[in-house]
Amino acid sequence: MVKKRAKVCVALTTMVMVIAILCASEAIATSSTFSFSVIPGTSTTGAITNYVFVAENPAGYSDTVTMTGSIPAGYSMVPPTSGWQQVGTAELYNGTRLIGKVTLYSNSSDPSGKVDVVATIYFDGNSSTTTGTKDVDYSPGGTTSVGPLTLDSVTLQGSITLPTDNAPGTVNAELSLPAWLKLTKVVITTGDFVRNPPTEGDYSFMLSVNGEQTSEEVPITRGAPPTAVPALTPSGMLALVSILSIVIALATREGKKK
C-alpha cells in the first residue's frame, strides 16, 4: 500500500473544519507519557464518516502552548446541508474532571458556510457559556481562522487550511492557559462529515507541540467491490431466447384474436 505521511493538528477536521476543536486536541501532545489515538467510524476509501481523536498526557499543560501541523492530502470535508447538525465536539479534562466543552453546529441559515459555536468552561461547580457564529470554508484548500477567543482565562487563536487531493492542509494555533489550570486529556468527536482519502494506504496523523512530535497511523482500506452480474452462458442465452420467443408468440396470438 502507498504510504502517505503528513503532520496534523489532530482533529480534522477536521471538522473542519472545526479549528477550535483541532487546536484544543494539540494542547496536550508532548511527553513520554503522552498517548494519542485516532479512531475512524469507517476506514474504507472514500467513505463519509466520523472520527474520534483522544489525546492524553497525565502531566498536563498550562501557560502558553504553540502548535503547528498539517492534515494528510486526500482527506476532505462534506459540508452539512441542513441546520443544527453536530459538526464536531471537543471535551477537555483535568484528570477525570470535565473542565470544558466546545460544540460546533451547522448554522440554520447557512449550513455549508457557517457554524454556531457553543463553548462552556466548568470551574469549581460553576459554568460559563459563550456562543457565537463563525464563517467556515469546507472546500479543498479553504482556510478558516478563529480568535483570539477568550473564555474566562483561556485564550485560543489559530487558523486551518484544508488539504486538497495532492497537497496537505496546514494548522497553526496558540493556546494560553492559566498557570493553575492543567489540561490532561482531550476527546474530539466529529460528525459524519469527514471523507476518507480515495486511495488506500497508511495515513499518519502527526502533532507538533512546542517543537515535539507524536503520531498515530490510520490504515485506509479499499471497500468491498460491487457484486458482479453473472454472465450468461451459451445454454443460458438459449433459454433466454426461447422465453422471449414464447412471449412474442403469445403476444402476437392475442393480437390476432382482437
Tally Cβ neighbours within 10 Å of residue 30.
20
| Residue 119 within any structural domain of the chain | yes
pLDDT digits (tens, 9 = 90+) for 199-218: 999 998 877 766 777 888 89
Of residues 136 and 128, more confidence is placed in: 136
Based on the structure, what is the number of domains in the chain? 1
pLDDT at 229 over 70: no
Helix (H) or strand (E) holding 242, with range, is helix 234-257
What's the rounded mean pLDDT across residues 89-115?
91
Cα angle value 74/102/219 (rounded, 5°): 30
The C-alpha cell that represents 22 in the structure block: 483541532
Mean of all residue pLDDT scores within the chain = 77
Residue with cell string 396470438: 253
| Residue 255 within any structural domain of the chain | no
| Residue 185 within any structural domain of the chain | yes
pLDDT digits (tens, 9 = 90+) for 157-185: 878 788 899 988 877 778 788 888 888 88
Rounded alpha-carbon distances, angstroms, from residue 191 to 80, 195, 243: 10, 11, 52
| Residue 246 within any structural domain of the chain | no
Lowest mean pLDDT among 14-28, 56-70, 90-104: 14-28
pLDDT digits (tens, 9 = 90+) for 119-134: 888 877 788 888 889 9
| Residue 253 within any structural domain of the chain | no
With contact defined as beta carbons under 8 Å apart, do 98 and 89 qualify? Answer: no
pTM: 0.74
Which structural domain range is residue 149 located in? 2-231
Amino acid at 161: T
| Residue 69 within any structural domain of the chain | yes
pLDDT at 41 over 50: yes
Rounded alpha-carbon distances, angstroms, from residue 204 to 8, 71, 179, 189, 219: 9, 9, 32, 18, 8
| Residue 118 within any structural domain of the chain | yes
| Residue 244 within any structural domain of the chain | no
